[in-house]
Amino acid sequence: MEFRYLGNSGLKISEITYGNWLTHGSQVENDVATQCVRAALDEGISTFDTADVYANTVAESVLGEALKGERRESLEIFTKVYWPTGPKGKNDTGLSRKHVMESIDGSLQRLQTDYVDLYQAHRYDTETPLEETMQAFADIVRQGKALYIGVSEWTADQIREGVALSTELGFQLISSQPQYSMLWRVIEGEVVPTSAELGVSQIVWSPMAQGVLSGKYLPGQQPPQGSRAADEKGGADMIKRFMRDDVLSRVQELKPVADEAGLSMAQLAVAWVLQNDNVAAALVGASRPEQVAENVKASGVRLDPAVMARIDEVLGDIVERDPNRTRETAPQTRVA
């Protein structure tokens, strides 16, 4: 496992980071989830990412239990706040001071830790003054409940404003967690250049485009039983934008590219996002322990420029690059 600095800070994280969205507390049983976490630790992964909203707080509890007994100083534990949790009342969502301050305490209790290494705004809250949110984050850092602050799916302008306020308030906003893959490159035009300028790193989610880049989905065929595309509890909805025959056909053409590089298609996808200098880590999940061992093999891989060019040639115009997609896919009002 290789490690990278997160933003303009002294914090190092594993470049393959274990995330438990859509798995722990929902898709897989708790004992299997624990086995996956143990497999991640065995493979040298030290960084774990979750959120209070995953499985309506259950994912945090599962992760906390799975990590119990590990040396806390050897781990980097990340979580997030924004989406509705609990009974989903009027203040159980967003980035108001009330919700942020209550949410961090709930997350720490479920994760069985005194602090998180990174606390992230899971989306931008259009209904709360950014100054209010940033002051709450500053207080959480001063209280020792979080060491650093990050954001997720914020636009370049929102990141710039957030960093300016964090600097003024005396804490470090060091990361952005966007979707990023060979098929979804919307951060390259604005978010990445702005982040690089400001000392912010990307922790990217869905580097395998919800599993599409693994090559397991074939054009003209039904998704395999038990796969994310067959999961009506949430996975199928998230993956549907990539489940078009034109996309799936192009993805199949990547198999010879992966073969020549000596990688599986999944490893090629993870290695591809790690070629971007502004990416500190690729988030990978797992429903089976052996998937963790497979994904970790992408760590340290350096792809030749010819391979990168061939990937671009194969995928062509099916790649989404419009930076406006970050804003368009964000909630315009608080989700209740």
Domain chopping of the chain, boundaries: 3-328
- The pLDDT score that the predictor gives to residue 287 is 82
Q: Residue 82 catalytic?
A: no
Rounded percentage of the chain residues whose pLDDT exceeds 70: 92
pLDDT attached to residue 214: 92
Q: How high is the pLDDT of residue 330?
A: 84
Is the distance from CB of 194 to CB of 330 less than 8 angstroms?
A: no
Tokens of 239: 């993956």
Closest C-alpha to 53, from 120, 147, 153, 136: 120
pLDDT at 100: 98
Catalytic: which of 54, 148, 180, 217?
54
CB-CB contact of 136 with 142 (8 Å): no
Report the amino acid identity of residue 239: I
One-letter amino acid of 301: V
Tens-place pLDDT, residues 89-148: 899 999 999 999 999 999 999 999 999 999 999 999 999 999 999 999 999 999 999 999
Average pLDDT of the chain is 92
Q: What is the pLDDT of residue 26?
A: 52
Residue 24 pLDDT > 60 = no
pLDDT value of residue 71 = 97
- The more confidently predicted of residues 23 and 95 is 95
DSSP E strand boundaries for the chain? 3-5, 12-14, 16-19, 47-49, 76-81, 116-121, 146-151, 173-176, 201-204, 279-284
E strand or H helix at 250, and its extent?
helix 245-252
The whole-number pLDDT of residue 27 equals 53
Phi, psi of 169 (to 5 degrees): -90, -5
Instruction: Kindly tell me if the per-residue pLDDT of 149 is higher than 60.
Output: yes
Query: DSSP class of residue 56?
Result: G
What CATH code would you report for 3-328? 3.20.20.100
